[in-house]
Structure 1
Amino acid sequence: MDRNVDHQTAPDLREPAKDPHAWKRVVAKFQRPAPLRANWQLANTLTPYAALWLLMYLTLGVSIWLTLGLALMAAGFLVRVFIIFHDCTHGSFFASKRANSVVGFATGVLTFTPFAHWRWEHARHHASSGDLDRRGVGDVSTMTVDEYVRASIWERIRYRTMRNPITLFVFAPLLLFLVRQRFSSMGAGQPERRSVLWTNLCLLSTAVILSGVYGWQAYLFIQLVILGVSGAAGVWLFYVQHQFEDVYWERGGDWDFVEAALKGSSFYRLPKVLQWLSGNIGYHHVHHLSARIPNYRLETCHRSDPLFSSVKPVTLRSSLRSLRLRLWDEDAQRLVGFREVRDSRRTGS
Structure 2
Amino acid sequence: MSKLRNLKKEISHYEHSNTKSSVMQMLNTFIPFIVLWFLAYKSLSISYFLTLAICIVAAGFLVRIFIIFHDCCHGSFFKKRKSNMILGTIAGILTFCPFEQWKRSHAIHHATSSNLNKRGTGDVWVMTVKEYLAASKLQKIGYRLYRNPFVMFVLGPIYIFLVSYRFNVKNARRREKINTYITNISIVVLIIIFCVTLGWQDFLLVQGPIFFLAGSLGIWLFYVQHQFEDSYFENQENWDFVKAAIDGSSYYKLPKVLQWLTGNIGFHHIHHLSPRIPNYYLEEVHNKNEALQEATTITLKTSLKSLHFRLWDEENKKFIGFKDIKNVMEKVSKDNERKLSTNVSTVKNP
TM-score in same-fold range (> 0.5): yes
Whether contact under 8 Å (1:242, 1:264) holds in the other structure is yes
The answer to whether the aligner puts 1:112 opposite 2:76 as a matched pair is no
TM-score (norm 2): 0.93
Q: How does 1:292-303 map to 2 (within 5 A)?
A: 292-303=276-287
Residue 166 of structure 1 aligns with which residue? 150
Q: Is the 8 A contact 2:313 2:320 kept in 1?
A: yes
- What is residue 220 of structure 1 aligned with on the other side? 204
Task: Describe the shift of the 1:48–1:171 C-alpha distance in structure 2 as closer, same or farther (beyond 3 A).
Answer: same
Letter in 1 for 2:42: L
- CA distance in 2 between partners of 1:253 and 1:214 (Å): 57
Does 2:61 correspond to 1:80?
A: no
| 1:341 Cα offset (Å) | 0.6
* 8 Å CA contact retained: 1:114, 1:196: yes
Partner of 2:264: 280
Between the aligned partners of 2:39 and 2:326, the Cα distance in structure 1 is 51
Within 2, Cα distance between the matches of 1:243 and 1:53?
33
Note the alpha carbon deviations across 1:287-306, whole angstroms, 9 max, x for none: 00011000000010111222
Checking the alignment, whether the CA contact within 8 Å between 1:26 and 1:305 is kept in structure 2 is no
Question: In proportion to residue count, which structure has more helix?
Answer: 2
SS of the counterpart of 2:312?
strand
Whole-angstrom CA distance in 1 between matches of 2:9 and 2:102: 29
Query: Which letter does structure 2 place at the counterpart of 1:130?
Result: S
Aligned-residue offset at 1:185: 1.4
Q: Deviations over 1:147-199 (max 9, x none)?
A: 11111111111110110000111000111111111001122111111111010
Does 2:2 correspond to 1:17?
Answer: yes
The equivalent of 2:137 in structure 1 is 153
The reply to whether residue 177 of structure 1 matches residue 149 of structure 2 is no
The whole-number CA distance in structure 1 between the counterparts of 2:285 and 2:8 is: 12
In the other structure, the counterpart of 2:46 is 62
State the partner residue of 1:290: 274
Cα distance in 1 for partners of 2:238, 2:78 equals: 35
For 1:281 and 1:309, the matched residues in 2 are separated by: 15
Aligned length, in residue pairs:
333
CA change 1:344–1:253 in 2 (3 A) is: closer
Q: What is the deviation of 1:31?
A: 1.0
Give 1:306's match in structure 2, choosing from 290, 294, 299: 290
Q: Does 1:329 align with 2:320?
A: no
Corresponding residue for residue 50 of structure 1 = 34
Task: Among all aligned residue pairs of Structure 1 and Structure 2, give the percentage whose two residues are the same amino acid.
Answer: 45
Distance of 1:125 and 1:223 partners within structure 2: 29
Task: Report the Cα offset of residue 104 of structure 1.
Answer: 0.5
> What CA distance in whole angstroms lies between the structure 1 residues aligned with 2:131 and 2:27?
48
> In structure 2, how many angstroms separate the alpha carbons of the residues matched to 1:83 and 1:161?
28
Q: 1-side partners of 2:296 and 2:126: how far apart?
A: 22
Q: Which residue number corresponds to residue 197 of structure 1? A: 181
Cα distance change of structure 1 residues 242 and 145 upon mapping to structure 2, 3 Å threshold = same
C-alpha distance in structure 1 between counterparts of 2:248 and 2:5, whole Å? 19
1:259 alignment counterpart:
243
Task: Quote the residue 1:236 is aligned against.
Answer: 220
Consecutive aligned runs of 4 or more in structure 1 exceeding 3 Å deviation: 346-349
Q: CA RMSD in A?
A: 1.2
The alignment partner of 2:2 has SS state of: coil
Task: Name the SS for the 2:92 alignment partner.
Answer: helix
Larger Cα-atom Rg? 2
Give structure 2 stretches of 5+ with no counterpart. Answer: 335-350
- The residue type equivalent to 1:317 in the other structure is K
**Superposed CA offset, 1:211-234 (max 9, x none):** 122111111222221110000000
Which residue does the alignment assign to 2:84? 100
1:345 offset after TM fit, Å? 2.8
2:232 pairs with one of 248, 272, 283: 248
Instruction: List alignment gaps of at least 5 residues for structure 1.
Output: 1-15
Q: Distance in 2 between matches of 1:328 and 1:135?
A: 13
> How far apart are residue 21 of structure 1 and its match?
4.1
Question: C-alpha distance in 2, partners of 1:180/1:223?
Answer: 19
